[in-house]
Chain A
């Protein structure tokens, strides 16, 4: 199984600041046939279902604000939230869909400092 490791477990950022979340996979999720990274990021708020933010490691989902960006390739990925807003308080998960079983990272809780 591909193990997804996120860091940090939690972080507190000032309003307007930048949150940076790391995700590392135990093996590469870059598919050589199409040069795509099979990596997604989700935002999960209490009482709501998860929301897809980023897929293919760097493509924003429908309606996702531009302050959310994804980067990285192979086994190392980053989610960056710029100009942090109060509504960005949530738990963020990375997930690989390169192979089954699909696996999620442990989550990173983002709070306001």
Chain B
């Protein structure tokens, strides 16, 4: 069965960095675009970033552009999110998610349970 397991969350001071990972199993990871989506406490869902199946294209929300970097290792079925210059407003539960498209032309079928990032001094 499909499993997406995020890791790497925690408490970090403003301005510092954190790297999230998402280990994927149960589907052909290298065929599909992958996303990060977050939910701040008490707020709705916010899309963060997408990476093409082969890593050739990456797109970001304006709120994280220039600070976050999405990447993938298809040999290890793993998705990453490097988060630099973290701000208090980045505090959220971060989900990795995937759809049945090589890019982003699909709904998000598969979701992890999320990893919590708290940015606080």
- Residues of A near any B CB (own CB < 8 A): 1, 38, 40, 42, 44, 48-52, 54-56, 61-62, 91, 93, 95, 97, 100-107
Q: Are B114 and A100 in contact (CB under 8 A)?
A: no
In the complex, are the beta carbons of B46 and A104 less than 8 A apart? yes
List 22 A-B residue pairs with CB atoms under 8 Å apart, sorted by A's residue number.
Answer: A40-B107, A49-B113, A49-B114, A50-B97, A50-B111, A51-B111, A52-B108, A54-B107, A55-B106, A61-B107, A61-B109, A93-B45, A95-B108, A97-B106, A100-B50, A100-B59, A101-B59, A101-B62, A102-B50, A104-B46, A105-B44, A107-B44
**Set of chain B residues within 8 Å of A93, measured between Cβ atoms:** 44-45
Taking CB atoms, residues of chain A closer than 8 Å to B97 are 49-50
- CA–CA, A42 to B97, complex, Å? 13
- B32 at the binding interface (Cβ < 8 Å): no
Q: Would you give the 0/1 interface string for B3-18, flagging 1 where the beta carbon is closer than 8 Å to chain A?
A: 0000000000000000
How many A-B contacts at CB < 8 Å in the complex?
A: 65
Provide the bound-state CA to CA distance between A71 and B75, in Å: 40
Quote the shortest CB–CB distance from A17 to chain B (angstroms). Answer: 25
In angstroms, Cα B95 to Cα A95, docked, is 15
B interface bracket (residues with beta carbon within 8 Å of A): 20 to 34
Contacts A102-B47, A104-B44 given; indicate if A52 touches B62 (C-beta within 8 A): no
Q: Is the CB of A62 within 8 A of B109?
A: yes
Q: 1/0 contact trace for B100-116 toward A, CB 8 Å? A: 00001111110111100
The listed residue (B44, B50, B62, B108) touching A40 by CB distance below 8 A is B108
**Among the interface residues B46, B59, B108, which one has the most CB atoms of the partner chain A within 10 A?**
B108
